Structure 1
Amino acid sequence: MTGKARNALLTLGLLALSSTSVLAQTQPQPQTPPVACGGDLATFLEGVKTEAVGKGIPADVADRALAGAALDQKVLSRDRAQGVFKQTFTEFSKRTVSKGRLDIGAQKMKEYADVFARAEGEFGVPAPVITAFWAMETDFGAVQGDFNTRNALVTLAHDCRRPEMFRPQLLSAIEMVQHGDLDPAATTGAWAGEIGQVQMLPEDIIAYGVDGDGDGHVNLKKSSPDAILTAAKFIKSLGFTAGQPWIQEVALPDQLPWEKTGLQPGMTAGDWFALGVAPRDGNTSHGALEASLVLPQGRKGVAFLTYPNFKIYLEWNQSFIYTTSAAYFATRLAGAPPYQAGNPEPGLGDTEMKTLQTKLQALGHDVGKIDGILGSGTRTALQKEQLKLGLPADGWATPDLLQAL
């Protein structure tokens, strides 16, 4: 699934991590009412219609939106078989941040210069940031998905895996039908219900949709101005601060407190500069900003300082490799040169990574699911074990480290 379901997923994660008082923990907690799902499809759809009407949508609109709705087994197959993200940063970024995409991106920024100027003026989001997402999500609208959006959302809301996530999206899709912005029979998109050139879910389109071409509708499938401005408004809502950087390539000294690297707070860019971390573009003007030093493939590979604006990338999509690539893509569109890949140590394959995670788990670390992905939990655990072993704690998984454990 792409990052447009990120709000619901992040909310669930934050709820699980939220602290409660000792008293609250000892008292019976109220149960969240279950979200209706499953069963006879006609009965399910009648319940959706009743809820939609209760939210102020006319009954005839709900009838029109749900008429002919059907469950799509291909959607369920895609949902059950979501692949995991196991490419390295250099592999993924070299494939996605291609010369062809950079050239098209530059052309799009010129073609829609007035729209991008409006986006930055109203929402503070520069053209390269929007354009990189536009390219990463759909190749500038060329690949938007061919699943019937209404049916995809009916399927996922009816399915009892995550109805709390998808029933609100189905209701928002019905509201889009009311506005004339979604044709229930013809609108297509991604298997999880995302629509348009920047792939957004109906709930986000309702909340942040902007009519960029003045036709009275928000059409993210066909209207690039609508897509650009809606993306800008949404990115601003995620916390983007105008005039600040998001990511910056840096060169590293031989020695650093490697255990302080990774997506963790506590350091400013100035702190890193004082330790010998040097921006490749020479710009040290943002030294007062909080910054994390991220090493996608360890201390011998490419290195970036990430600034507070990088958090919007993690909100858009929780894959570290995707988000770092998208942020790097935006810097290239803004004029930065290609990164210097360095000479990273070889990483681990899928089976080896799962073995490593199993070992870390046995040592008492919470690495989450044993999935073969070098995610934040696994990287943090690795850093702790690297420190114990007297190794540079850069969080990069290598065959030598696996052997040492």
Structure 2
Amino acid sequence: MRSIPVLIALLAAMPQPVLADCGGDFNKFINDLKSEAIALGHGADTVNAFFAPIRQDPRVIKADRAQGVFKKSFIDFSQTVISKNRLDHGRNNAKKYAEIFSRIESEHGISKGVLLAFWALETDYGAVQGDFNTANALATLAHDCRRPDLFRPQILAAIELFERGDFDPAGTTGAWAGEIGQVQMLPDDILRNGVDGDGDGHVRLKTSAADALMSGAKMLRGLGWRPGEPWLQEITVPAELDWAQTGLNHELTTAEWERRGVKARSGALARGLRGSVLLPMGRKGPAFIAYPNFRVYFEWNKSFVYVTTAAYFATRLEGAPVYDPGNPEPGLGDKEMKALQTKLAARGHDVGKIDGILGERTREAVQTEQSRLGLPADAWPTRALLDRL
């Protein structure tokens, strides 16, 4: 065995990757990416062939800055995207791919509604997969300085897919953020979780529903999905519930929630599990209990509204009734939400970017301030809270 000093000397002599910095000249950025890829062991000819067609795409940055859909309320978003057509297509696909869903449930313990809902919301069951050149999108977003650490590794993963014959830098297309295929997965996710579900020797997430669904299931399981457990269930809550104990930052056993008057709207609460009471639009709106698997959704997508809608949609595809919308108090518009976030940040709360989006950190800050001011602490921001602040 070589001595430690000798090993250190050998490692120091090896070519070290030059990390490509975001911003600046795009061509220099690409050249640095090439050097990084070659230093990591990819052949120079392969790297040059991969990067040859890549161009910066300003449409990608425009799309990244215009994610207004996440500013919609849960009721608005869910009622828009969960249509009768999508429900009908979902049930038909459940029958068409019954053998695939049976394999998924057997191997990963994930119920069919979960994958069907993602499949529907991401690409309308494969019909709308995006027309952005994927390599261009990834390079553009890696060069942009908003989230370079997320997207630079995706380019390196795409090179490996290219070497396998499963990626064409000139022709592979998908979403503006670089996701590929019927359930929209990034290249690194495909490398780690891609499954040849149809047995043709390739992982083709764009054209093979079997590959896409099996790969999505493997990814969810790897993200921490607990086999055979529920994820979300509609509930009714008593008017005297301690609202400060609701939200994803609070958790009790289902037995403890029942003692506080929480009941399943249909069926019964799951036994032996912990859960959080989720009030997407406050104490007067829809109410759910979020089980541990619900948190896995945030590993797929960070938007609270998207995640809650996807999880609820999955329950609908498995027979749950339409939720009771209740009569929630009017929420805040974009300008008011930004004003609220600014006030919360000034009081020391970490709400992230002042973007007008009611994400989980903003919700927690709202709940804390509601408690401090003696308002019902249901994490739903209203004009009354804004005025008090």
Q: Name the TM-score, length of structure 2 as normaliser.
A: 0.90
* 2:324 counterpart (340, 354, 359): 340
Q: Deviations over 1:26-55 (max 9, x none)?
A: xxxxxxx95444555555444433433343
Which secondary structure state, in structure 1, belongs to the residue aligned with residue 337 of structure 2?
helix
Whether 2:272 is the aligned partner of 1:288: answer yes
Q: Distance in 2 between matches of 1:76 and 1:368?
A: 20
Contact 1:84 1:373 in 2 (8 A): no
2:9 matched residue in structure 1: none
Unaligned runs of 5+ in 2: 1-17
1:341-380 Cα shifts (integer Å, max 9, x gaps): 1111111112222233333334443333332222223322
Question: Residue 303 in 1 paired to residue 287 in 2?
Answer: yes
Matched-pair identity in %: 58
Of the three residues 51, 75, 79, the one matched with 1:90 is 75
Quote the residue 1:157 is aligned against. Answer: 142
Q: Deviations over 1:202-231 (max 9, x none)?
A: 011011000111111111111110100000
Match of 2:3 in 1: none
Q: CA deviation at 1:240?
A: 0.5
CA distance in 1, matches of 2:108, 2:162: 27
Alignment partner of 1:194 is 2:179: yes
Quote the residue 1:384 is aligned against. 368
- Comparing both chains, which one has the higher relative contact order based on Cα–Cα distances under 8 Å and sequence gaps of 6 or more? 1
Match of 2:7 in 1: none
Cα contact 1:265–1:290 (8 A) shared by 2: no
Give the Å deviation of 1:297: 0.8
Equivalent in the alignment of 1:11: none
The count of corresponding residues between Structure 1 and Structure 2 is 372
Counterpart CA distance in 2 for 1:77 and 1:403 is 34
CA–CA separation in structure 2 for the residues paired with 1:287 and 1:259? 24
Alpha-carbon distance between aligned partners in 2 of 1:350 and 1:273, rounded to the nearest angstrom: 37
Question: CA–CA distance in 2 between the matches of 1:337 and 1:312?
Answer: 23
1:169 and 1:362 mapped to 2: Cα distance?
A: 36
Q: What is the match of residue 60 of structure 1?
A: 45
Note the aligned Cα RMSD (angstroms).
Answer: 2.0
Counterpart of 2:313 (choices 302, 312, 329) is 329
Per-residue deviation at 1:80?
4.1
Could you tell me which of 189, 197, 204 is aligned with 2:189? Answer: 204
Q: TM-score, normalised by structure 1?
A: 0.86
Structure 2 counterpart of 1:367, one-letter code: V
8 Å CA contact 1:301, 1:341 repeated in 2: yes
Is the aligned partner of 1:117 residue 2:102? yes
Work out the CA distance in 2 between the residues paired with 1:382 and 1:42. Answer: 45
> What does the per-residue CA deviation read over 1:157-215, in whole Å, with 9 as the maximum and x for residues that have no partner?
33444433222111111111111111121111112211111111101101100011111
Q: Who is 2:6 aligned against?
A: none
Q: Is the Cα–Cα contact under 8 Å of residues 34 and 47 in structure 2 kept in the other structure?
A: yes
- The alpha-carbon distance between structure 1 residues 289 and 404, as it changes in their structure 2 partners (threshold 3 A), is same
Partner of 2:386: 402
Residues 350-359 or 307-316, more deviating: 350-359
